[in-house]
Structure 1
Amino acid sequence: MSDAPAFDLDGTVCVITGGSGVLGSEMARAIGERGATVVLLARDETALEEASETLTARDIENLTIPASVLERAELEAAAEMVVEEYGRIDALINAAGGNHPDATTGAETSFFDLPKAGLEQVVNVNFLGTVLASQAFGEYMVEQGEGVIVNVSSMAAVTPLTKIPGYSGAKAAVSNFTEWLAVHVAQEYSPAIRVNAIAPGFFLTEQNRYLLLDEETGEYTERGQQIIDHTPQGRFGEPADLATTVCWLLAPGSAFVTGTVIPVDGGFAAFSGV
Protein backbone atom coordinates (compact mmCIF):
# COMPACT_ATOMS: atom_id res chain seq x y z
CA MET A 1 0.00 0.00 0.00
CA SER A 2 2.87 2.37 0.74
CA ASP A 3 3.99 2.54 -2.92
CA ALA A 4 0.57 3.54 -4.23
CA PRO A 5 -0.41 7.11 -5.10
CA ALA A 6 -1.61 9.13 -2.14
CA PHE A 7 -5.34 8.47 -2.55
CA ASP A 8 -5.32 5.27 -4.59
CA LEU A 9 -6.74 2.04 -3.16
CA ASP A 10 -6.01 -0.06 -6.25
CA GLY A 11 -5.33 -3.70 -5.41
CA THR A 12 -6.24 -3.46 -1.73
CA VAL A 13 -8.66 -5.81 0.01
CA CYS A 14 -11.08 -4.14 2.41
CA VAL A 15 -13.52 -5.85 4.77
CA ILE A 16 -16.60 -3.89 5.89
CA THR A 17 -18.77 -5.12 8.76
CA GLY A 18 -22.32 -3.89 8.47
CA GLY A 19 -21.49 -3.63 4.80
CA SER A 20 -25.06 -3.97 3.55
CA GLY A 21 -26.34 -0.96 5.50
CA VAL A 22 -26.91 2.52 4.10
CA LEU A 23 -23.57 3.90 5.27
CA GLY A 24 -21.58 0.68 4.87
CA SER A 25 -22.72 0.13 1.29
CA GLU A 26 -21.85 3.71 0.36
CA MET A 27 -18.37 3.24 1.80
CA ALA A 28 -18.07 0.02 -0.21
CA ARG A 29 -19.01 1.81 -3.42
CA ALA A 30 -16.58 4.66 -2.80
CA ILE A 31 -13.55 2.52 -2.01
CA GLY A 32 -14.43 0.06 -4.76
CA GLU A 33 -14.46 2.86 -7.31
CA ARG A 34 -10.93 3.70 -6.16
CA GLY A 35 -9.72 0.23 -6.98
CA ALA A 36 -10.30 -1.77 -3.81
CA THR A 37 -11.75 -5.24 -3.64
CA VAL A 38 -14.62 -5.11 -1.16
CA VAL A 39 -15.72 -7.82 1.27
CA LEU A 40 -19.12 -7.21 2.84
CA LEU A 41 -20.07 -8.80 6.15
CA ALA A 42 -23.60 -8.69 7.60
CA ARG A 43 -26.23 -11.00 9.05
CA ASP A 44 -28.95 -10.35 6.46
CA GLU A 45 -28.15 -12.47 3.39
CA THR A 46 -30.81 -10.80 1.24
CA ALA A 47 -29.40 -7.34 1.99
CA LEU A 48 -25.91 -8.65 1.23
CA GLU A 49 -27.04 -9.95 -2.16
CA GLU A 50 -28.61 -6.61 -3.03
CA ALA A 51 -25.47 -4.71 -2.01
CA SER A 52 -23.32 -7.11 -4.02
CA GLU A 53 -25.47 -6.67 -7.13
CA THR A 54 -25.06 -2.89 -6.88
CA LEU A 55 -21.28 -3.20 -6.62
CA THR A 56 -21.06 -5.74 -9.43
CA ALA A 57 -23.07 -3.44 -11.70
CA ARG A 58 -20.31 -0.87 -11.16
CA ASP A 59 -17.61 -3.45 -12.00
CA ILE A 60 -16.39 -3.53 -8.39
CA GLU A 61 -14.86 -6.83 -7.30
CA ASN A 62 -16.68 -7.99 -4.19
CA LEU A 63 -17.35 -10.89 -1.88
CA THR A 64 -20.21 -11.27 0.61
CA ILE A 65 -20.01 -13.29 3.81
CA PRO A 66 -22.95 -13.72 6.20
CA ALA A 67 -21.57 -13.30 9.71
CA SER A 68 -22.37 -11.74 13.07
CA VAL A 69 -19.86 -9.36 14.63
CA LEU A 70 -20.78 -10.88 18.00
CA GLU A 71 -19.67 -14.40 17.02
CA ARG A 72 -15.89 -14.71 17.14
CA ALA A 73 -15.93 -18.08 15.36
CA GLU A 74 -17.92 -16.63 12.44
CA LEU A 75 -15.53 -13.68 12.18
CA GLU A 76 -12.48 -15.95 12.22
CA ALA A 77 -14.00 -18.16 9.53
CA ALA A 78 -14.75 -15.07 7.46
CA ALA A 79 -11.17 -13.82 7.82
CA GLU A 80 -9.83 -17.20 6.68
CA MET A 81 -12.17 -17.11 3.69
CA VAL A 82 -10.93 -13.66 2.67
CA VAL A 83 -7.29 -14.71 2.90
CA GLU A 84 -7.95 -17.92 0.96
CA GLU A 85 -9.71 -15.92 -1.77
CA TYR A 86 -7.45 -12.86 -2.02
CA GLY A 87 -4.26 -13.67 -0.13
CA ARG A 88 -4.38 -10.73 2.28
CA ILE A 89 -6.49 -8.26 4.27
CA ASP A 90 -5.43 -4.64 3.86
CA ALA A 91 -8.23 -2.84 5.64
CA LEU A 92 -11.14 -3.29 8.01
CA ILE A 93 -14.03 -0.87 8.44
CA ASN A 94 -16.10 -1.57 11.54
CA ALA A 95 -19.43 -0.14 10.37
CA ALA A 96 -21.79 -2.55 12.14
CA GLY A 97 -23.79 -0.83 14.86
CA GLY A 98 -26.88 1.17 15.67
CA ASN A 99 -29.37 1.88 18.42
CA HIS A 100 -32.45 -0.08 19.55
CA PRO A 101 -35.85 1.03 20.89
CA ASP A 102 -35.32 -1.05 24.03
CA ALA A 103 -32.30 1.08 24.90
CA THR A 104 -34.06 4.40 24.29
CA THR A 105 -35.88 6.53 26.85
CA GLY A 106 -39.12 8.26 25.93
CA ALA A 107 -42.52 9.38 27.10
CA GLU A 108 -43.48 5.85 28.09
CA THR A 109 -40.07 4.51 29.11
CA SER A 110 -37.95 6.10 31.82
CA PHE A 111 -34.24 5.53 32.22
CA PHE A 112 -34.97 3.43 35.29
CA ASP A 113 -37.14 1.06 33.27
CA LEU A 114 -34.73 0.40 30.41
CA PRO A 115 -34.33 -3.38 30.13
CA LYS A 116 -30.91 -4.94 30.55
CA ALA A 117 -31.30 -6.91 27.32
CA GLY A 118 -31.82 -3.78 25.23
CA LEU A 119 -28.81 -2.04 26.71
CA GLU A 120 -26.65 -5.13 26.27
CA GLN A 121 -27.65 -5.45 22.62
CA VAL A 122 -26.66 -1.86 21.82
CA VAL A 123 -23.40 -1.95 23.78
CA ASN A 124 -22.45 -5.32 22.34
CA VAL A 125 -23.07 -4.64 18.66
CA ASN A 126 -21.39 -1.22 18.72
CA PHE A 127 -18.46 -1.79 21.05
CA LEU A 128 -17.89 -5.52 21.47
CA GLY A 129 -18.53 -6.11 17.77
CA THR A 130 -15.80 -3.58 16.94
CA VAL A 131 -13.36 -5.28 19.31
CA LEU A 132 -14.07 -8.82 18.10
CA ALA A 133 -13.79 -7.91 14.41
CA SER A 134 -10.53 -6.06 15.08
CA GLN A 135 -9.17 -9.20 16.73
CA ALA A 136 -10.24 -11.57 13.97
CA PHE A 137 -9.09 -9.47 11.00
CA GLY A 138 -6.34 -7.50 12.71
CA GLU A 139 -4.39 -10.67 13.41
CA TYR A 140 -3.77 -11.06 9.68
CA MET A 141 -2.56 -7.45 9.49
CA VAL A 142 -0.03 -8.29 12.19
CA GLU A 143 1.21 -11.21 10.08
CA GLN A 144 1.50 -8.89 7.05
CA GLY A 145 3.13 -6.11 9.07
CA GLU A 146 0.71 -3.52 7.70
CA GLY A 147 -2.98 -2.67 7.49
CA VAL A 148 -5.62 -0.11 8.36
CA ILE A 149 -8.60 -0.29 10.70
CA VAL A 150 -11.30 2.38 10.60
CA ASN A 151 -13.92 2.32 13.35
CA VAL A 152 -17.23 4.17 13.35
CA SER A 153 -17.81 6.27 16.44
CA SER A 154 -20.38 9.08 16.68
CA MET A 155 -21.01 12.64 17.77
CA ALA A 156 -22.91 10.97 20.60
CA ALA A 157 -19.52 9.88 21.94
CA VAL A 158 -18.37 13.51 22.14
CA THR A 159 -21.55 14.96 23.65
CA PRO A 160 -24.04 12.37 24.93
CA LEU A 161 -27.43 12.77 23.32
CA THR A 162 -30.70 12.66 25.20
CA LYS A 163 -32.73 9.43 25.09
CA ILE A 164 -29.89 7.07 24.01
CA PRO A 165 -27.60 6.33 26.99
CA GLY A 166 -26.52 2.90 25.74
CA TYR A 167 -25.61 4.07 22.26
CA SER A 168 -23.78 7.18 23.51
CA GLY A 169 -21.79 5.13 26.02
CA ALA A 170 -20.95 2.42 23.48
CA LYS A 171 -19.69 4.92 20.93
CA ALA A 172 -17.58 6.66 23.59
CA ALA A 173 -16.04 3.24 24.22
CA VAL A 174 -15.35 2.86 20.48
CA SER A 175 -13.47 6.19 20.44
CA ASN A 176 -11.42 5.19 23.48
CA PHE A 177 -10.70 1.75 22.02
CA THR A 178 -9.58 3.33 18.74
CA GLU A 179 -6.90 5.33 20.56
CA TRP A 180 -5.86 2.35 22.67
CA LEU A 181 -5.58 -0.07 19.74
CA ALA A 182 -3.63 2.41 17.61
CA VAL A 183 -0.96 2.69 20.28
CA HIS A 184 -0.97 -1.04 21.02
CA VAL A 185 -0.46 -2.32 17.49
CA ALA A 186 2.11 0.35 16.62
CA GLN A 187 4.22 -0.38 19.68
CA GLU A 188 3.79 -4.14 19.90
CA TYR A 189 3.62 -5.18 16.26
CA SER A 190 4.15 -2.65 13.47
CA PRO A 191 3.90 1.15 13.07
CA ALA A 192 2.53 0.43 9.59
CA ILE A 193 -0.71 -0.82 11.14
CA ARG A 194 -2.94 2.21 11.69
CA VAL A 195 -6.20 2.56 13.59
CA ASN A 196 -8.52 5.56 13.30
CA ALA A 197 -12.21 6.33 13.59
CA ILE A 198 -14.77 8.63 12.07
CA ALA A 199 -17.37 10.33 14.26
CA PRO A 200 -20.43 10.97 12.10
CA GLY A 201 -22.81 13.74 12.95
CA PHE A 202 -26.41 13.27 11.91
CA PHE A 203 -27.21 11.24 8.82
CA LEU A 204 -30.61 10.06 7.65
CA THR A 205 -30.76 6.27 7.81
CA GLU A 206 -33.59 3.76 7.90
CA GLN A 207 -33.17 3.55 11.68
CA ASN A 208 -33.55 7.24 12.47
CA ARG A 209 -35.40 8.73 9.50
CA TYR A 210 -38.73 9.12 11.26
CA LEU A 211 -37.14 10.36 14.45
CA LEU A 212 -35.81 13.29 12.44
CA LEU A 213 -38.47 13.73 9.73
CA ASP A 214 -42.24 13.63 10.05
CA GLU A 215 -43.40 10.56 8.13
CA GLU A 216 -46.48 12.32 6.71
CA THR A 217 -45.25 15.84 5.99
CA GLY A 218 -41.53 15.32 5.48
CA GLU A 219 -40.87 18.30 7.77
CA TYR A 220 -38.32 18.14 10.56
CA THR A 221 -39.53 16.68 13.83
CA GLU A 222 -38.78 18.64 16.98
CA ARG A 223 -35.63 16.56 17.49
CA GLY A 224 -34.65 16.95 13.84
CA GLN A 225 -35.03 20.72 14.02
CA GLN A 226 -32.91 20.85 17.19
CA ILE A 227 -30.14 19.02 15.36
CA ILE A 228 -30.30 21.30 12.32
CA ASP A 229 -30.25 24.35 14.61
CA HIS A 230 -27.03 23.06 16.20
CA THR A 231 -25.34 22.11 12.90
CA PRO A 232 -23.63 25.18 11.38
CA GLN A 233 -23.91 23.79 7.86
CA GLY A 234 -27.68 23.51 8.35
CA ARG A 235 -28.24 20.04 6.91
CA PHE A 236 -28.05 16.35 7.67
CA GLY A 237 -25.05 14.46 6.34
CA GLU A 238 -25.14 12.35 3.20
CA PRO A 239 -23.48 8.92 2.99
CA ALA A 240 -20.93 10.27 0.48
CA ASP A 241 -19.73 12.75 3.12
CA LEU A 242 -18.53 9.83 5.23
CA ALA A 243 -17.22 7.75 2.36
CA THR A 244 -14.69 10.29 1.15
CA THR A 245 -13.23 10.67 4.64
CA VAL A 246 -12.97 6.90 4.97
CA CYS A 247 -11.18 6.67 1.62
CA TRP A 248 -8.57 9.15 2.87
CA LEU A 249 -8.04 7.22 6.11
CA LEU A 250 -7.54 3.99 4.16
CA ALA A 251 -5.18 5.45 1.57
CA PRO A 252 -1.39 5.95 1.74
CA GLY A 253 -1.92 9.72 1.90
CA SER A 254 -2.87 9.37 5.59
CA ALA A 255 0.16 7.23 6.45
CA PHE A 256 1.10 9.43 9.45
CA VAL A 257 -2.46 9.53 10.83
CA THR A 258 -3.29 7.04 13.59
CA GLY A 259 -5.14 7.08 16.87
CA THR A 260 -7.50 9.84 15.72
CA VAL A 261 -11.28 10.24 15.73
CA ILE A 262 -12.29 12.45 12.80
CA PRO A 263 -15.58 14.37 13.11
CA VAL A 264 -17.74 14.35 10.00
CA ASP A 265 -20.52 16.46 11.40
CA GLY A 266 -21.14 19.71 9.55
CA GLY A 267 -19.62 21.61 12.49
CA PHE A 268 -21.91 20.15 15.17
CA ALA A 269 -19.08 19.52 17.65
CA ALA A 270 -17.66 23.01 17.18
CA PHE A 271 -20.89 24.87 17.90
CA SER A 272 -21.73 25.86 21.48
CA GLY A 273 -25.25 26.81 20.58
CA VAL A 274 -24.54 30.52 21.11
Structure 2
Amino acid sequence: MSFLKNFSLEGKVVVVTGGTGVLGGAFVEAIGDAGAAVGVLGRNAAVAEERAEKIRSHGGKAIALVADVMKEEELVKARDQVLDAFGKIDGLVNGAGGNMPIGVLQNDEDLFTMNLEGMKTVMDINLWGTVLPTQIFGPALAKNETASIVNISSMNSKQAVTKVLGYNLGKAAVDCYNEWFAVELAKRYGDRIRMNALTPGFFLTEQNRKLVWHPDGTLSERGQSIINNTPFKRFGKPEELTGALIWLLSDASRFVTGSQVVIDGGFSIFSGV
Protein backbone atom coordinates (compact mmCIF):
# COMPACT_ATOMS: atom_id res chain seq x y z
CA MET A 1 0.00 0.00 0.00
CA SER A 2 2.81 2.42 0.86
CA PHE A 3 4.39 1.78 -2.55
CA LEU A 4 1.20 2.79 -4.36
CA LYS A 5 0.79 5.82 -2.12
CA ASN A 6 4.06 7.17 -3.51
CA PHE A 7 2.26 7.72 -6.83
CA SER A 8 -0.54 9.72 -5.22
CA LEU A 9 -0.67 13.51 -5.43
CA GLU A 10 -3.05 13.72 -2.49
CA GLY A 11 -2.51 16.95 -0.56
CA LYS A 12 -0.29 18.50 -3.23
CA VAL A 13 -0.94 21.69 -5.22
CA VAL A 14 0.10 21.71 -8.88
CA VAL A 15 -0.01 24.57 -11.40
CA VAL A 16 -0.30 23.70 -15.10
CA THR A 17 0.58 26.37 -17.65
CA GLY A 18 -1.03 25.80 -21.01
CA GLY A 19 -3.85 24.25 -19.01
CA THR A 20 -6.43 25.41 -21.55
CA GLY A 21 -4.77 23.58 -24.47
CA VAL A 22 -5.38 20.09 -25.83
CA LEU A 23 -2.58 18.37 -23.92
CA GLY A 24 -3.10 20.67 -20.95
CA GLY A 25 -6.67 19.46 -20.65
CA ALA A 26 -5.47 15.89 -20.18
CA PHE A 27 -2.81 17.08 -17.73
CA VAL A 28 -5.15 18.97 -15.39
CA GLU A 29 -7.75 16.19 -15.38
CA ALA A 30 -5.17 13.52 -14.51
CA ILE A 31 -3.58 15.66 -11.80
CA GLY A 32 -6.99 16.29 -10.27
CA ASP A 33 -7.80 12.57 -10.40
CA ALA A 34 -4.49 11.84 -8.63
CA GLY A 35 -5.65 13.96 -5.69
CA ALA A 36 -3.89 17.30 -6.15
CA ALA A 37 -5.44 20.75 -6.12
CA VAL A 38 -4.92 22.17 -9.62
CA GLY A 39 -4.17 25.66 -10.88
CA VAL A 40 -5.44 25.69 -14.48
CA LEU A 41 -3.41 28.46 -16.09
CA GLY A 42 -4.06 29.79 -19.59
CA ARG A 43 -5.13 32.83 -21.57
CA ASN A 44 -8.68 31.62 -22.20
CA ALA A 45 -10.65 32.44 -19.05
CA ALA A 46 -13.76 30.52 -20.09
CA VAL A 47 -11.89 27.29 -20.80
CA ALA A 48 -9.78 27.61 -17.64
CA GLU A 49 -12.90 28.01 -15.52
CA GLU A 50 -14.69 25.17 -17.31
CA ARG A 51 -11.82 22.79 -16.63
CA ALA A 52 -11.46 23.90 -13.01
CA GLU A 53 -15.20 23.47 -12.48
CA LYS A 54 -15.09 19.95 -13.93
CA ILE A 55 -12.48 18.98 -11.34
CA ARG A 56 -14.49 20.59 -8.56
CA SER A 57 -17.68 18.83 -9.69
CA HIS A 58 -15.91 15.51 -9.19
CA GLY A 59 -14.99 16.43 -5.63
CA GLY A 60 -11.53 17.84 -6.34
CA LYS A 61 -9.99 21.25 -5.84
CA ALA A 62 -9.10 23.60 -8.68
CA ILE A 63 -8.77 27.26 -9.55
CA ALA A 64 -8.79 29.02 -12.92
CA LEU A 65 -5.77 31.25 -13.52
CA VAL A 66 -5.81 33.68 -16.44
CA ALA A 67 -2.27 34.58 -17.48
CA ASP A 68 0.10 34.81 -20.42
CA VAL A 69 3.31 32.90 -19.67
CA MET A 70 5.32 35.66 -21.38
CA LYS A 71 4.01 38.35 -19.00
CA GLU A 72 5.67 38.40 -15.61
CA GLU A 73 3.06 40.58 -13.90
CA GLU A 74 0.27 38.19 -14.89
CA LEU A 75 2.22 35.20 -13.63
CA VAL A 76 2.88 36.92 -10.30
CA LYS A 77 -0.85 37.57 -9.92
CA ALA A 78 -1.61 33.93 -10.74
CA ARG A 79 0.96 32.69 -8.24
CA ASP A 80 -0.55 34.85 -5.51
CA GLN A 81 -4.03 33.54 -6.35
CA VAL A 82 -2.84 29.96 -5.86
CA LEU A 83 -1.12 30.75 -2.58
CA ASP A 84 -4.19 32.61 -1.32
CA ALA A 85 -6.42 29.67 -2.27
CA PHE A 86 -4.28 26.72 -1.19
CA GLY A 87 -1.38 28.11 0.85
CA LYS A 88 1.43 26.42 -1.07
CA ILE A 89 2.62 25.12 -4.47
CA ASP A 90 4.20 21.66 -4.78
CA GLY A 91 4.38 21.19 -8.53
CA LEU A 92 4.62 23.10 -11.79
CA VAL A 93 3.93 21.72 -15.25
CA ASN A 94 5.31 23.99 -17.97
CA GLY A 95 2.79 22.96 -20.61
CA ALA A 96 2.50 26.24 -22.50
CA GLY A 97 4.13 26.41 -25.91
CA GLY A 98 3.51 25.03 -29.38
CA ASN A 99 3.77 26.34 -32.91
CA MET A 100 2.17 29.17 -34.90
CA PRO A 101 1.64 29.80 -38.63
CA ILE A 102 4.30 32.55 -38.54
CA GLY A 103 6.83 29.89 -37.53
CA VAL A 104 6.16 27.57 -40.49
CA LEU A 105 8.32 27.50 -43.63
CA GLN A 106 6.41 25.86 -46.47
CA ASN A 107 8.25 23.69 -48.99
CA ASP A 108 7.75 26.21 -51.82
CA GLU A 109 9.08 29.18 -49.81
CA ASP A 110 12.60 30.59 -50.15
CA LEU A 111 14.84 29.19 -47.42
CA PHE A 112 16.90 32.41 -47.27
CA THR A 113 13.98 34.78 -46.89
CA MET A 114 12.08 32.88 -44.22
CA ASN A 115 10.17 34.81 -41.57
CA LEU A 116 12.91 35.07 -38.95
CA GLU A 117 10.78 37.17 -36.61
CA GLY A 118 8.10 34.49 -36.77
CA MET A 119 10.64 31.78 -36.00
CA LYS A 120 11.97 33.84 -33.09
CA THR A 121 8.48 34.38 -31.70
CA VAL A 122 7.80 30.64 -31.69
CA MET A 123 11.20 29.88 -30.19
CA ASP A 124 10.62 32.43 -27.44
CA ILE A 125 7.20 31.14 -26.40
CA ASN A 126 8.57 27.62 -26.04
CA LEU A 127 11.79 28.55 -24.23
CA TRP A 128 10.97 31.68 -22.24
CA GLY A 129 7.40 30.48 -21.73
CA THR A 130 9.03 27.66 -19.77
CA VAL A 131 11.75 29.64 -18.00
CA LEU A 132 9.64 32.58 -16.82
CA PRO A 133 6.93 30.57 -15.01
CA THR A 134 9.68 28.60 -13.27
CA GLN A 135 11.25 31.85 -12.06
CA ILE A 136 7.91 33.11 -10.74
CA PHE A 137 6.54 29.94 -9.15
CA GLY A 138 9.91 28.47 -8.14
CA PRO A 139 10.39 30.31 -4.83
CA ALA A 140 7.08 28.90 -3.57
CA LEU A 141 8.13 25.37 -4.57
CA ALA A 142 11.45 25.85 -2.78
CA LYS A 143 9.65 26.18 0.55
CA ASN A 144 8.51 22.56 0.47
CA GLU A 145 10.25 19.38 1.58
CA THR A 146 9.69 17.96 -1.89
CA ALA A 147 8.61 19.64 -5.13
CA SER A 148 8.66 18.85 -8.83
CA ILE A 149 8.79 20.81 -12.09
CA VAL A 150 7.91 19.07 -15.36
CA ASN A 151 8.77 20.66 -18.70
CA ILE A 152 7.39 19.62 -22.08
CA SER A 153 9.99 18.81 -24.71
CA SER A 154 9.31 17.28 -28.14
CA MET A 155 10.65 14.90 -30.77
CA ASN A 156 11.42 18.12 -32.68
CA SER A 157 14.35 18.67 -30.34
CA LYS A 158 15.88 15.31 -31.26
CA GLN A 159 15.62 15.15 -35.04
CA ALA A 160 15.33 17.66 -37.88
CA VAL A 161 11.58 18.04 -38.41
CA THR A 162 10.97 20.13 -41.52
CA LYS A 163 9.02 23.41 -41.77
CA VAL A 164 9.01 24.33 -38.05
CA LEU A 165 12.47 25.72 -37.29
CA GLY A 166 11.32 28.03 -34.49
CA TYR A 167 9.61 25.18 -32.68
CA ASN A 168 12.65 22.92 -33.18
CA LEU A 169 14.95 25.59 -31.74
CA GLY A 170 12.65 26.31 -28.81
CA LYS A 171 12.30 22.70 -27.74
CA ALA A 172 16.04 22.03 -28.16
CA ALA A 173 16.64 25.00 -25.85
CA VAL A 174 14.12 23.56 -23.36
CA ASP A 175 16.16 20.33 -23.30
CA CYS A 176 19.32 22.28 -22.45
CA TYR A 177 17.47 24.28 -19.81
CA ASN A 178 15.94 21.11 -18.32
CA GLU A 179 19.36 19.61 -17.64
CA TRP A 180 21.15 22.81 -16.64
CA PHE A 181 18.46 23.97 -14.24
CA ALA A 182 18.04 20.51 -12.70
CA VAL A 183 21.73 20.53 -11.77
CA GLU A 184 21.56 24.04 -10.35
CA LEU A 185 18.47 23.14 -8.31
CA ALA A 186 20.24 20.10 -6.90
CA LYS A 187 23.33 22.12 -5.97
CA ARG A 188 21.22 24.60 -4.03
CA TYR A 189 18.30 22.54 -2.73
CA GLY A 190 19.51 18.95 -2.73
CA ASP A 191 16.69 16.56 -3.56
CA ARG A 192 13.93 18.96 -2.51
CA ILE A 193 13.17 20.26 -6.03
CA ARG A 194 13.37 18.08 -9.13
CA MET A 195 13.10 19.14 -12.77
CA ASN A 196 12.34 16.67 -15.55
CA ALA A 197 10.67 16.66 -18.94
CA LEU A 198 8.20 14.71 -21.01
CA THR A 199 9.27 14.23 -24.63
CA PRO A 200 6.17 13.49 -26.70
CA GLY A 201 6.18 12.17 -30.22
CA PHE A 202 3.36 13.26 -32.49
CA PHE A 203 0.09 14.13 -30.79
CA LEU A 204 -2.72 16.03 -32.50
CA THR A 205 -3.14 19.57 -31.20
CA GLU A 206 -4.75 22.70 -32.57
CA GLN A 207 -1.31 24.01 -33.58
CA ASN A 208 -0.36 21.06 -35.79
CA ARG A 209 -3.74 19.90 -37.04
CA LYS A 210 -3.58 21.83 -40.32
CA LEU A 211 -0.10 20.47 -41.06
CA VAL A 212 -1.09 16.80 -40.80
CA TRP A 213 -4.73 16.69 -41.90
CA HIS A 214 -6.56 17.91 -45.00
CA PRO A 215 -9.89 19.74 -44.49
CA ASP A 216 -11.71 16.61 -45.72
CA GLY A 217 -10.26 14.59 -42.85
CA THR A 218 -7.63 12.69 -44.82
CA LEU A 219 -3.97 12.67 -43.84
CA SER A 220 -1.66 15.15 -45.53
CA GLU A 221 1.62 13.95 -46.99
CA ARG A 222 3.32 15.14 -43.81
CA GLY A 223 0.79 13.33 -41.63
CA GLN A 224 1.25 10.11 -43.56
CA SER A 225 5.02 10.42 -43.25
CA ILE A 226 4.65 10.67 -39.47
CA ILE A 227 2.50 7.54 -39.37
CA ASN A 228 4.92 5.68 -41.63
CA ASN A 229 7.79 6.48 -39.26
CA THR A 230 5.91 5.62 -36.06
CA PRO A 231 6.00 1.87 -35.36
CA PHE A 232 2.62 2.04 -33.59
CA LYS A 233 1.16 3.53 -36.83
CA ARG A 234 -0.92 6.19 -35.11
CA PHE A 235 -0.76 9.53 -33.35
CA GLY A 236 -0.56 9.65 -29.58
CA LYS A 237 -3.58 10.38 -27.42
CA PRO A 238 -3.24 13.18 -24.82
CA GLU A 239 -4.14 10.87 -21.95
CA GLU A 240 -1.19 8.64 -22.88
CA LEU A 241 1.15 11.32 -21.52
CA THR A 242 -0.42 11.45 -18.10
CA GLY A 243 0.99 8.29 -16.50
CA ALA A 244 4.55 9.55 -16.84
CA LEU A 245 3.45 13.04 -15.79
CA ILE A 246 1.91 11.83 -12.54
CA TRP A 247 5.01 9.73 -11.83
CA LEU A 248 7.30 12.75 -12.29
CA LEU A 249 5.12 14.93 -10.07
CA SER A 250 4.78 12.29 -7.37
CA ASP A 251 7.17 11.14 -4.65
CA ALA A 252 7.71 7.92 -6.63
CA SER A 253 10.30 9.83 -8.69
CA ARG A 254 12.21 11.33 -5.77
CA PHE A 255 15.62 10.27 -7.20
CA VAL A 256 14.91 11.42 -10.77
CA THR A 257 16.06 14.80 -12.06
CA GLY A 258 17.24 16.26 -15.35
CA SER A 259 15.70 13.35 -17.24
CA GLN A 260 13.43 13.13 -20.26
CA VAL A 261 10.69 10.53 -20.57
CA VAL A 262 10.10 9.72 -24.24
CA ILE A 263 6.48 8.93 -25.18
CA ASP A 264 6.40 8.57 -28.95
CA GLY A 265 5.09 5.21 -30.11
CA GLY A 266 8.62 4.25 -31.13
CA PHE A 267 9.22 7.17 -33.51
CA SER A 268 12.66 8.04 -32.08
CA ILE A 269 14.07 4.51 -32.34
CA PHE A 270 12.79 3.59 -35.80
CA SER A 271 15.24 3.76 -38.71
CA GLY A 272 12.46 3.67 -41.28
CA VAL A 273 13.64 0.25 -42.46
Q: TM-score range by the shorter chain?
A: over 0.9
Deviates more, 1:254-263 or 1:204-213: 204-213
Taking a change above 3 Å as real, the CA distance of residues 51 and 108 of structure 1, as seen in their structure-2 partners, is farther
Matches of 1:145 and 1:12 in 2, distance apart? 12
2:136 corresponds to? 136
Aligned runs of 1:68-79 on 2, under 5 Å?
A: 68-79=68-79
- Segments of 5+ residues of structure 2 without an aligned counterpart are none
Q: Structure 2: which amino acid aligns with 1:120?
A: K
Could you tell me how far apart the structure 2 residues matched to 1:206 and 1:115 are?
21
Which residue pairs with 1:166 in the alignment?
A: 166
Map 1:211-222 to 2 at 5 A: 211-216=211-216, 218-222=217-221
SS of residue paired to 1:29:
helix
Q: CA RMSD in A?
A: 1.7
CA offset at residue 61 of structure 1? 1.2
* Structure 1 CA distance for aligned equivalents of residues 83 and 110 of structure 2: 47
Determine if contact 1:102/1:114 at 8 Å carries over to the other structure.
no
Between the aligned partners of 1:106 and 1:139, the Cα distance in structure 2 is: 42
Does structure 1 conserve the Cα–Cα contact (< 8 Å) formed by 2:15 and 2:93?
yes
- 1:143 is paired with a residue whose SS is coil
What SS does structure 2 have at the residue aligned with 1:125? helix
What is the aligned partner in structure 2 of residue 188 from structure 1?
A: 188
Residue 92 of structure 2: aligned partner: 92
Residues 102 and 119 in structure 1, CA contact (< 8 A), matched pair in contact too:
yes
Partner of 2:238: 239
Secondary structure, in 3 states, of the residue corresponding to 2:142? helix
**Structure 1, gaps ≥5 residues long:** none
Q: Does 1:125 align with 2:144?
A: no
Normalised by the length of structure 2, the TM-score is 0.95
Q: What CA distance in whole angstroms lies between the structure 2 residues aligned with 1:240 and 1:130?
A: 21
C-alpha deviation, 1:192, in angstroms: 1.8
**Percent identity at matched positions?**
43
| Range with bigger deviation, 127-136 or 181-190 | 181-190
Match of 1:264 in 2: 263
What whole-Å deviation, never above 9, does each CA across 1:201-238 have from its counterpart, x for those lacking one?
0011122223212221x222111111111111111000
Task: For 1:202-213, list aligned pairs within 5 A.
Answer: 202-213=202-213
Match of 2:40, SS state, is strand
CA distance in 2, matches of 1:155, 1:137: 27
CA–CA distance in structure 2, aligned partners of residues 156 and 79 of structure 1: 30
Farther off after superposition, 185-194 or 229-238: 185-194
Q: Shift of the alpha carbon at 1:3? A: 10
Q: What CA deviation, in whole Å up to 9, does each residue of 1:95-139 have, x standing for no partner?
A: 000111111110453332232331222111110010001111111
Aligned to 1:51: 51
Question: Structure 1: which amino acid aligns with 2:116?
Answer: K
Q: Secondary structure at the match of 1:253?
A: helix
Asked if structure 2 preserves the Cα contact closer than 8 Å seen for 1:142 and 1:190, the reply is no
1:18 is matched with which residue? Answer: 18
TM (normalized to structure 1)? 0.94
Cα distance in 1 for partners of 2:207, 2:61 equals 28
Would you say the 8 A contact 2:103–2:166 is kept in 1? yes
Q: Is the 8 A contact 2:32 2:38 kept in 1?
A: yes
Higher alpha-carbon deviation: 51-60 or 96-105: 51-60
Mapped to 2, the partners of 1:153 and 1:165 lie a distance apart of: 15
Matched letter for residue 272 of structure 2? G
Which secondary structure state, in structure 2, belongs to the residue aligned with residue 272 of structure 1? coil
**CA drift at 1:94:** 0.3
2:124 & 2:196 partners in 1: Cα distance? 20
How far residue 160 of structure 1 moved from its aligned partner, in angstroms, is 2.2
* Higher deviation after alignment, 171-180 or 107-116: 107-116
Q: Which amino acid aligns with 2:214?
A: D
